[in-house]
């Protein structure tokens, strides 16, 4: 044994506990999910641009033995890993292990602090060599990984139907929520089909096909729209606002609400408004407080709105929720209040409703008259199916003297099937659909035939699954470019969460889409289409955990200022912020540090900004004194990373590691020792608890990474409001990273993250790529991730460059023919 090894052996003895810590550090989820050895095992490593000479690969090996084999040897196998069998000349045999080494060493996590570490220059040289070797190897023998047959998730199904039929309704709520994997709900492996789901598909396909063709049931039904209101914990009263409830309502209105209603026929409908009852249980909806108006509506999507004209002055938006004593202006008697009902923004009727006056504590000025629910009943007195967008989209021809029924049906079905199946239609496709058409036609005529065939399209596996086929006679295991049609589908589900449009299909048909110039042009076009909002809704909604905001219920006692308006405003801010980066092709570093954001009055007040009036959002420049800028200063993020009653440094720290740095901490050990939260009978402060985390070696292995990051955000409370003091004491927000770096507060954290911008951009790319591919990333994907980062670095890390690089990457553009 060489003296070098002996030295590190000595080090093990010294840090027996750190050995445990190291094991935990290495044993993260990636370690467990990486596949054993990939096909690349057989591929000979290619000389990469900076591959070192033979003598220096021997040097690398010696370096591993010197610094790593103390713990990672064949015997102790810390974190299940040994560097002893690794061959620096043949990385391919263990590319997953090498990727792990690369990640840990470049993050500065390994070798751990307290152990002997190579110099900075040695580390830089080593990681440069390792990454370029791995990248070169991947370039020589690309491995696009596996693409399992993927089912449309419920969002995609809803969007696809919308785009296929021009039917503007939200179907996603009619289907069950999909399972998630790797943080997203579009992961092929976990999108299963159950009988319950199939039942829903059949159900929805029937409803949608009848609605779109104008053959919906003529039986009157009632559609309810419940308006989200703030309820006190004890269901006592509703917060009343003197502000516009939605952008679809008149500027000078207050209260009420609006919703999109799809009128199945040109017909008369009854709009019913259920008002709050003025009782202690304001959530009750009852017929005594129902008011109705009748309206004729044309078939198609209609915006139904109802609101009160506004009474107070412009700046006064919130009526304080005091519960005692009379208020100025309180009327003890019932007065008549005007209430406006609109369809598509046009006044249908102004009605009057009585105010509520039942004594000082429940008088109408405390809980102003407001609308709890809007219902639409109908259709009555049906005039006809109308000229809807969906009927125009579907019926591309009408049987006439020029075109016989069957020929017209064929034309209609070919057009539908091509777009729904996202490929050229075959005679077989049309043959099957025509059979169903014939059966439907016999039952009820031409349109019923089309409706029946459409019902079939919407449950067909050709529609429900993103099927990709292997090039004819391709050998199992061989790697090929996907076809242009498959590319069109991957692109549109990535950027739009929906099916390709005619333009993409036409380019695919012409074999043009995969040409880099065309592809670039199309990606740019797609990102500027309103459908690209899907990236914000679905990618950002999950990457940033925004979807959780809806379920967050901050404790009313600690955070009386949190209400539905604020919740909505927080969500809108972060959505507009993300959308702005996409739409304006800004640098993704804006996510870490931006000098602008989007606010309305409600949110501005929450952030302590002055001079912002009204419910509409606008882009504002941020004064540094406001302590905002970037995602980590946004209310939505700060709220979803908190508990309902308090902040959590651990949740916030873990959130940053998971989503911003892609360095998830390993799972907590099975038997977590309970922390003593009290000492000498006194409850410990957050900082004292953190110190406790640090003093216990097992806890420290992860918490020393999580806690400081989260701690620097303690200036934001559990709903993201700025605070300087907590529990009567001034907050001390200085924190120390495991490597000894000291920083302070949100600004300090920003600096820390910007220093690690390469890591952030790779983390962001990993998340976006996972979403784009619908599968978890594996070790063999890492060269592709790095390639995106290199290219993005040359363009200030702009969003469109990252997206362009992803769609041209090996895993996105290629496919491996599966082994049989």
Partner 1 sequence: MIIRSKPMGRRTVLRGMGATLALPLLEAMMTSPSAAEAAAKTRMRLQVIYMPNGMMMQNYTPAQTGAGYAMTPILKPLEPYREKFAVISGLAHKQAEALGDGGGDHGRSCGSYLTGVHVKKTEGADITSGPSMDQIVARQFSEQTQIPSLELGLDPPSLVGSCDTGYSCAYTNTLSWRTASTPLPVTVNPREVFERIFGDGDSLDAKTRIMRLRRQASILDSVAEDARHLSGSMGADDKKKIEEYMASIRDIERRIQKMEQGGPSAAALPAYARPSGIPDSFEDYARMMIDLQVLAYQADMTRVGTFMVGREVSGRSYPEIGVADAHHPLSHHGNDPEKIAKLTKINILHMEQVAYYLKRMSETKDGEGTLLDHSMLLAGASLADSNTHQHTNLPVIVAGGLVKGNQHMMVKDDVPMTNLMLSMMDRLGVQQERLGDSSGRLTGFTA
Residues in region 138-197 near partner 1 by CB under 8 A: 146, 148-149, 151, 173-174, 176-183, 187, 189-190, 192-197
Task: Work out which of 329, 551, 611, 695 binds partner 1, going by CB under 8 A.
Answer: 551
> Which of these ranges, 159-167, 462-470, 578-586, 737-745, lies near partner 1 under the rule CB under 8 A?
462-470
> At what angle are helices 799-807 and 484-495 packed, to 10 degrees?
150
| Closest approach of partner 1 to the CB of residue 380, in Å | 13
Q: In which residue are the tokens 């491995």 written?
A: 143
Closest CA to 424 of 435, 434, 412, 414: 414
Query: To which H or E segment does residue 314 belong?
Result: none
Q: Which of residues 605-624 bind partner 1 (CB under 8 A)?
A: none
Q: Which is nearer to partner 1, 195 or 624 (CB)?
A: 195
CB of 726 to partner 1, least distance (A): 18
* Matching residue, tokens 């609605």: 211
Q: 430 or 620, CB closer to partner 1?
A: 430
Note if the bond before 111 is cis, omega within 30 degrees. Answer: yes
Quick check: helix, strand or coil at residue 783?
Answer: helix
Which C-beta is closer to partner 1: that of 384 or that of 818? 818
Between residues 236 and 395, which has the closer beta carbon with respect to partner 1? Answer: 236
- Selected from 675, 696, 734, 793, the binder of partner 1 by CB under 8 A is 675
Q: Please tell me whether residue 645 binds partner 1 under the rule CB under 8 A.
A: yes
Pick from 336, 367, 394: which is nearest to 213 by CA?
394
- What does the alpha-carbon distance between residue 168 and residue 301 come to, in Å, rounded to a whole number? 6
CB closer to partner 1, 291 vs 547: 547
Among 76, 127, 361, 460, interactor with partner 1 by CB under 8 A:
460
Question: Between residues 115 and 719, which has the closer beta carbon with respect to partner 1?
Answer: 719
Q: Which of 120, 324, 428, 610 binds partner 1 (CB under 8 A)?
A: 428
CA dihedral 500, 501, 507, 509 (to 10 degrees): 70
Give yes or no for residue 547 binding partner 1 (CB under 8 A). yes
Contacts with partner 1 in 224-283 (CB under 8 A)?
224, 226, 231, 233-235, 283
Helix (H) or strand (E) run with residue 646 in it = none
Q: Give 324-385 as a DSSP string.
A: SS--TT--SS--EEEEEEEETTEEEEEEEEE----STTS-TTTS---EEEEEEEEEEEEEE-
Stretch that binds partner 1, among 36-44, 91-99, 489-497, 662-670 (CB under 8 A): 662-670
Residues of this chain, 677-706, that bind partner 1 according to CB under 8 A: 677
Cβ neighbors of 12 (< 8 A, separation 6 or more) are 19, 70, 71, 76
At 423, list the tokens.
């490929």
DSSP state of 472: T
Return the closest-CA partner of residue 445 out of 605, 214, 236: 214
Question: Rounded to the nearest whole angstrom, what is the least distance from the CB of residue 666 to partner 1 in the complex?
Answer: 8
Across the strands, what pairs with 425? none
Give the footprint of partner 1 on residues 196-235 (CB under 8 A).
Answer: 196-200, 202-203, 206-207, 216-217, 219-224, 226, 231, 233-235
Q: Which C-beta is closer to partner 1: that of 450 or that of 589?
A: 450
Contact segment (CB under 8 A) with partner 1 among 91-99, 383-391, 554-562, 602-610 equals 554-562
Window 624-643: residues binding partner 1 (CB under 8 A)? 640, 643
Please report, for residues 121, 216, 295, 359, 381, the alpha-carbon distance to residue 219 in angstroms, rounded to integers and kept in the order given. Answer: 77, 9, 17, 44, 11
Instruction: Give me the least distance between CB of 195 and partner 1, in Å please.
Output: 4
Q: Give the nearer residue to partner 1 in terms of CB position, either 288 or 621.
A: 288
335 binds partner 1 (CB under 8 A): no
**Does 393 engage in binding with partner 1 (CB under 8 A)?**
no
Q: Which 351-380 residues touch partner 1, going by CB under 8 A?
A: 375, 377
As measured in angstroms, the least distance from the Cβ of 219 to partner 1 is 6
Return the range that interacts with partner 1 (CB under 8 A); candidates 80-88, 106-114, 378-386, 538-546: 538-546
Nearer of residues 234 and 322 to partner 1, judged by Cβ: 234
Q: Which of 459, 698, 731, 736 binds partner 1 (CB under 8 A)?
A: 459
Q: Does residue 557 bind partner 1 (CB under 8 A)?
A: yes
Plot region of 575 (φ>0 → left; ψ -120 to 50 → alpha; else → beta):
alpha
Burial grade of 195 (CB within 10 A; 0-12, 13-18, 19 or more): exposed
Q: By C-beta, is 465 or 596 nearer to partner 1?
A: 465
Q: Calculate the alpha carbon distances from 417 to 208, 414, 453 in Å.
A: 16, 5, 10
Residue 469 or 616 having the CB closest to partner 1: 469
Query: Smaller CB distance to partner 1: residue 27 or 386?
Result: 27
Nearer to partner 1 by Cβ, of 364 and 542: the residue is 542
Q: Which stretch binds partner 1 (CB under 8 A): 58-66, 127-135, 671-679, 781-789?
A: 671-679
Of 399, 386, 412, whose CA–CA distance to 164 is shortest?
A: 412
Q: How far is the CB of 610 from partner 1 (least distance, A)?
A: 31
User: Residue 51 CB, nearest distance to partner 1 (Å)?
Assistant: 33
CB 520 to partner 1: min, Å: 31
Query: Three-class SS string for 413-448?
Result: HHHHHHHHHCCCCCHHHHHHHHHHHHHHHHHHCHHH
The verdict on 315 binding partner 1 (CB under 8 A) reads no
The piece of 40-48, 350-358, 555-563, 722-730 that touches partner 1 (CB under 8 A) is: 555-563
Check binding of 29 to partner 1 (CB under 8 A): yes
Closer to partner 1 by CB, 224 or 292: give it.
224
Cβ proximity to partner 1, 549 vs 761, nearer residue: 549
Q: Which of 46-54, 69-77, 341-349, 660-668 is the region at the interface with partner 1 (rule: CB under 8 A)?
A: 660-668
- Phi first, then psi: what are they for 598, rounded to 5°? -125, 130
Q: Would you tell me how many other CB atoms lie within 10 Å of the CB of residue 511? A: 11
**Pattern 463-502, binding to partner 1, x per CB under 8 A?**
-xx-x-xx--------------------------------
Straight-line distance from the first to the last Cα atom of the chain, in angstroms, rounded to the nearest whole number: 48
* Closest to 85 in 3D by CA, of 75, 137, 44, 10: 75
Phi, psi at residue 777, to the nearest 5°? Answer: -85, 150
CB-based burial, 658-693: b 16+ in 10 Å, e otherwise: bbbbbbebbeeeeeeeeeeeeeeeeeeebbebbebb
Stretch that binds partner 1, among 122-130, 461-469, 515-523, 601-609 (CB under 8 A): 461-469
Backbone angles phi, psi at 559, to 5 degrees: -130, 65
CA distance 768 to 495: 11
Q: Which is nearer to partner 1, 682 or 730 (CB)?
A: 682
Size of the site for partner 1 (CB under 8 A): 104
Q: Compute the Cα dihedral for 273, 278, 279, 283 and give only its sign.
A: positive
CB atoms within 10 A of CB 794: 9
Kindly state whether residue 1 participates in binding partner 1, applying the rule CB under 8 A.
no
Pick from 625, 672, 724, 727: which binds partner 1 (CB under 8 A)?
A: 672
The distance of closest approach from Cβ of residue 284 to partner 1 in the complex, given in angstroms and rounded to an integer, is 8
- The only residue of 96, 658, 762, 766 in contact with partner 1, by rule CB under 8 A: 658
Q: Token pair of 644, please?
A: 């309902």
For residue 506, give the nearest of 433, 430, 415, 432 by alpha carbon: 415
Site for partner 1 in 733-792 (CB under 8 A): 776
Maximum distance among all Cα pairs of the chain, rounded to whole angstroms: 97
Shortest Cβ distance from residue 197 to partner 1 (Å)? 7
């Amino acid at each position: 044994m060489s003296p070098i090894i002996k030295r590190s052996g000595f080090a093990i003895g010294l840090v027996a506990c750190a050995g445990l810590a190291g094991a935990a550090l290495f044993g993260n989820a990636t370690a467990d999910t990486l596949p054993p050895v990939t096909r690349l095992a057989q591929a000979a490593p290619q000389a990469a641009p900076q591959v070192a000479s033979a003598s220096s690969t021997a040097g690398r090996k010696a370096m591993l033995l010197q610094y790593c084999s103390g713990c990672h040897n064949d015997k102790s196998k810390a974190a299940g890993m040994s560097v002893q069998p690794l061959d620096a000349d043949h990385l391919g045999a263990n590319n997953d292990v090498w990727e792990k080494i690369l990640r840990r060493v470049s993050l500065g996590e390994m070798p751990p602090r307290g152990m002997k570490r190579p110099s900075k220059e040695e580390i830089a040289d080593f990681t440069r060599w390792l990454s370029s070797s791995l990248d070169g190897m991947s370039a020589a023998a690309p491995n696009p990984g596996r693409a399992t047959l993927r089912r449309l998730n419920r969002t995609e199904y809803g969007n696809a139907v919308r785009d296929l039929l021009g039917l503007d309704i939200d179907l996603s709520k009619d289907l069950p929520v999909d399972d998630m994997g790797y943080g997203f709900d579009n992961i092929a492996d976990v999108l299963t089909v159950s009988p319950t789901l199939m039942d829903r598909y059949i159900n929805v396909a029937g409803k949608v096909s009848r609605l779109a063709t104008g053959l919906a049931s003529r039986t009157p039904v009632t559609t309810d729209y419940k308006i989200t209101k703030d309820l006190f914990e004890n269901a006592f009263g509703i917060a009343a606002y003197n502000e516009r409830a939605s952008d679809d309502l008149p500027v000078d209105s207050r209260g009420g609400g609006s919703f999109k209603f799809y009128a199945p026929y040109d017909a008369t409908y009854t709009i019913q408004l259920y008002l709050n009852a003025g009782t202690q249980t304001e959530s009750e909806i009852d017929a005594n407080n129902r008011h109705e108006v009748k309206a004729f509506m044309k078939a198609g999507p209609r915006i139904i709105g109802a609101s009160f004209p506004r009474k107070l002055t412009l700046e006064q938006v919130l009526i304080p929720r005091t519960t005692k004593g009379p208020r100025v202006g309180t009327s003890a008697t019932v007065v008549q209040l005007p209430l406006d009902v609109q369809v598509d923004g046009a006044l249908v009727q102004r009605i009057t409703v009585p105010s509520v006056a039942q004594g000082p504590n429940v008088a109408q000025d405390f809980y102003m008259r407001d609308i709890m629910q809007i219902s639409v009943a109908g259709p009555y007195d049906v005039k006809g199916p109308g000229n809807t967008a969906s009927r125009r989209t579907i019926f591309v021809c009408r049987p006439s003297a020029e075109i016989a029924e069957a020929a017209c049906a064929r034309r209609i079905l070919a057009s539908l099937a091509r777009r729904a199946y996202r490929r050229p239609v075959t005679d077989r496709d049309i043959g099957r659909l025509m059979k169903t058409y014939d059966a439907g036609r016999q039952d009820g005529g031409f349109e019923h035939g089309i409706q029946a065939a459409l019902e079939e399209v919407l449950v067909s596996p050709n529609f429900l699954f993103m099927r990709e086929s292997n090039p004819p006679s391709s050998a199992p295991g061989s790697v090929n470019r996907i076809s242009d049609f498959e590319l069109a589908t991957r692109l549109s589900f990535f950027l739009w969460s929906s099916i390709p449009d005619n333009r993409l299909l036409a380019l695919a048909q012409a074999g043009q889409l995969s040409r880099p110039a065309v592809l670039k042009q199309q990606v740019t076009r797609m990102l500027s289409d309103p459908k690209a909002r899907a990236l914000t809704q679905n990618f950002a909604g999950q990457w940033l955990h925004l979807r959780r905001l809806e379920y967050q219920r901050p404790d009313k006692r600690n955070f009386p200022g949190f209400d539905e308006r604020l919740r909505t405003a927080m969500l809108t801010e972060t959505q507009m912020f993300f959308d702005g980066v996409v739409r304006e092709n800004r640098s993704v570093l804006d996510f870490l540090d931006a000098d602008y954001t989007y606010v309305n009055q409600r949110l501005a007040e929450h952030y302590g900004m002055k001079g912002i009036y009204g419910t509409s959002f606008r882009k504002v420049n941020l004064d540094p004194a406001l302590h905002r800028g970037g995602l980590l200063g946004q209310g939505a993020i700060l709220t979803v990373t908190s508990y309902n009653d308090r902040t959590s440094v651990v949740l916030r720290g873990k959130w940053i590691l998971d989503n911003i740095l892609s360095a998830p901490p390993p799972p907590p050990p099975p038997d977590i020792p309970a922390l003593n939260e009290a000492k000498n009978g006194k409850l410990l402060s957050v900082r004292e608890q953190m110190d406790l985390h640090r003093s216990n070696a097992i806890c420290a292995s992860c918490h020393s990474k999580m806690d400081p990051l989260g701690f620097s955000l303690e200036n934001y409370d559990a709903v993201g409001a700025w605070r300087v003091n907590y529990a009567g004491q001034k907050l001390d927000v200085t924190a120390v990273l495991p490597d000894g770096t000291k920083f302070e507060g949100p600004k300090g954290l920003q600096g820390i993250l910007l220093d690690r911008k390469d890591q952030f951009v790779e983390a962001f790319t990993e998340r976006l790529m996972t979403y784009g591919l619908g599968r978890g990333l594996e070790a063999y994907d890492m060269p592709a991730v790095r390639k995106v980062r290199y290219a993005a670095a040359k363009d200030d890390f702009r969003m469109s460059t990252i997206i362009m690089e992803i769609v041209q990457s090996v895993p996105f553009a290629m496919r491996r023919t599966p082994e049989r």
